Chains A and B, each alone.
Chain A
Amino acid sequence: DQQVKQNSPSLSVQEGRISILNCDYTNSMFDYFLWYKKYPAEGPTFLISISSIKDKNEDGRFTVFLNKSAKHLSLHIVPSQPGDSAVYFCAATSWGYSTLTFGKGTMLLVSP
């Protein structure tokens, strides 16, 4: 049973526009959420995180929104750049544990 779901396998966006990547979760014990970016044959790079006590966290071009009642989070990238083209993984941890539960990833393609 998938506890973290990224229902869009891929997303195409034009350079300069907003990219919105979505993630849903089912486990109400999750209290910390992270987004990682991954290029092929490289390790995931940490982008941004959000604690369940917040509903928004911003870092430069990246903003993560958390809607606890809907068990939904999203990553906004504004403006999108061709270098943002990668696979984006949503991940979550439960209270008291640091082990990550990953979604299956969304491949973002930003075209010039």
Chain B
Amino acid sequence: DTEVTQTPKHLVMGMTNKKSLKCEQHMGHRAMYWYKQKAKKPPELMFVYSYEKLSINESVPSRFSPECPNSSLLNLHLHALQPEDSALYLCASSLGASDQETQYFGPGTRLLVL
């Protein structure tokens, strides 16, 4: 089983709203990732969690706030987003965060900021 689940599938929010994206995996993976993908572009890495600790933040604006409550869950808290933040947000996980690990992606949350 290589399933990563994400909720919600779609989200529309205003620029003053606060919302959260959720990601879950039950594969025993200890590394989890958030990516952002715009149309016709490859996924762009936002954050990496390794063993529930934030290990990489790719200079993401503070209006995006990740959280890893436990080894199976990863959240992305959104606040005061801009219309240009509209994108597909992808979660991924891998067994570890070191060498030659395969990342498995969830289906994504399509976010529209109005």
Interface residues of A, count at CB 8 A: 24
From A32, A43, A51, A98, B96 is in contact (CB under 8 Å) with A98
Q: How far is the CB of A31 from chain B (nearest CB, A)?
A: 7
- In the bound complex, do residue A103 and residue B42 qualify as a contact, i.e. CB atoms below 8 Å apart? yes
Complex Cα distance, B94 from A104, in Å, reads 22
Query: Chain A CB within 10 Å — which of B40, B88, B99, B108 has the most?
Result: B99
- In the bound complex, do residue B105 and residue A45 qualify as a contact, i.e. CB atoms below 8 Å apart? yes
Contacts of B31 in A (CB 8 A): 98
Contacts of A100 in B (CB 8 A): 43, 45, 103
Instruction: Decide if B56 is an interface residue (CB 8 Å cutoff).
Output: yes
Pick from A11-19, A62-70, A78-86, A88-96 the stretch touching chain B. Answer: A88-96
From B2, B42, B43, A46 is in contact (CB under 8 Å) with B2
Given A41-B88, A100-B45, A104-B41, are A93 and B101 also a contact pair (CB < 8 Å)?
yes
- In the bound complex, do residue A98 and residue B105 qualify as a contact, i.e. CB atoms below 8 Å apart? no
Instruction: Decide if A49 is an interface residue (CB 8 Å cutoff).
Output: yes
Instruction: Decide if B48 is an interface residue (CB 8 Å cutoff).
Output: yes
Contacts of B101 in A (CB 8 A): 32, 93, 98
- In the bound complex, do residue A31 and residue B99 qualify as a contact, i.e. CB atoms below 8 Å apart? yes
Encode contact with B along A12-52: 1 for CB under 8 Å, 0 otherwise: 00000000000000000001101010000111111001010
6 further A-B pairs in the complex, CB-CB below 8 A; given A44-B90, A102-B43:
A43-B105, A46-B104, A46-B105, A97-B98, A98-B48, A99-B48
- 21 A-B pairs with C-beta separation under 8 A: A32-B101, A34-B103, A43-B92, A43-B105, A43-B108, A44-B43, A45-B105, A46-B102, A46-B104, A49-B102, A97-B98, A98-B31, A98-B48, A98-B97, A98-B98, A98-B101, A99-B56, A100-B43, A102-B42, A105-B40, A105-B42
